[in-house]
Structure formats: C-alpha cells, structure tokens
Amino acid sequence: MRCSCFALAFAMLALTFVAAFDAPKPVQVSPREVGSQVIILGALGRPIGEKVTVHGVKVRAAKGGQVDFAVDSVDGKRFERPVTIQVDGIQNWPLGTQAEIQGRERGFVDFTDIRKTSFSKDDPRFELRQILYLSFDATEVAYPRTLTIERRNDRKVEE
C-alpha cells in the first residue's frame, strides 16, 4: 500500500512538471487584428460590443463592497452557473432585484503594475501580464419597466 501511494504521488508530480513545460504559449495579435481576425469574447461568452439581453439579480460583490449583477441567462440561453458582471447604473437598486437588461459588454486592456502589488521593484518573481477589465453598459431595462439605469455625468450609451 505504501509503495502504491508513493508511485501515485511520484506520477502526479511528474505530470505536473510535464504540464508546466507543455503549457500553451499566449497568442500574440496586433491591434489591427482585433475585430477582424480576432474576436475577443467577454465574460458572457459573447463578443465584446455585441448587443445582448441579460437576465439576473443584483448582488453584492465578494470584495470591495462593489455592486454586481449575477447573470443567469443571455438572450434567453440559460447558464449552468451564474456569471457575475459589473453593471453601471444599478447602484441604487435594492439587493436581490431581478431584472432583464439590454446592453453591451465593454472591455479595457491594462497591465499589472508592480507598484500595485506586494513585490519589491526588483523581485524576479513579478511577471508583467496584460489584464482585460470588463463591464456592462446597460442601455435599457427590458423588465421590470419600473427600474431605470442611472447615468453618471449624463454619459450616453449608443444603441
């Protein structure tokens, strides 16, 4: 029994080692390719910028006290598990409010900044990475019609 446990542990360690060296390399694309040859999908599994109707419930985010929206379906197609997204303009809705919202997912690419981490400036463990921040620009509430999307600074979202 002891020998088989050792063999299993050794096999798992070897597989982990091989997987680390066999990990796929990130694909590099130029800005010109985005939108024509490369379509970036958002958290909802649809192309960023595509107009969709989402159904879900307002929830409190796990961190930072932000307000999020747990989406259970997109354009009538239900998810196995809810996908949590940020939706501007629903801050004043009561927690637990269910709604159907139309809008578009928006993305912003940034990078990890060592100054925003706990690494020292010369720490070799720090690795520069790109990050895609996503949010949802709601254009209107489809249901219930009594809810509204509050715009900050009267910013208009194009239909």
Tokens of 34: 């985005």
**pTM of this structure:** 0.71
DSSP H or E stretch at residue 78 = strand 77-85
Tokens of 19: 């997987």
- What pLDDT does 20 receive? 54
Q: Where are the domains of the chain?
A: 28-154
- What pLDDT does 8 receive? 47
Tokens of 153: 């600074």
Q: Give the dihedral sign, CA 107/151/91/58.
A: negative
Q: Determine the Cα–Cα distance for residues 83 and 129; give it in Å rounded to an integer.
A: 24
Looking at domain 28-154, its CATH architecture is Beta Barrel (2.40)
- What pLDDT does 69 receive? 94
Q: Determine the Cα–Cα distance for residues 94 and 69; give it in Å rounded to an integer.
A: 12
Average pLDDT, consecutive stretches of 10 residues, N- to C-terminus, the chain (159 residues): 49 52 76 90 96 96 74 97 92 94 93 72 76 91 93 54
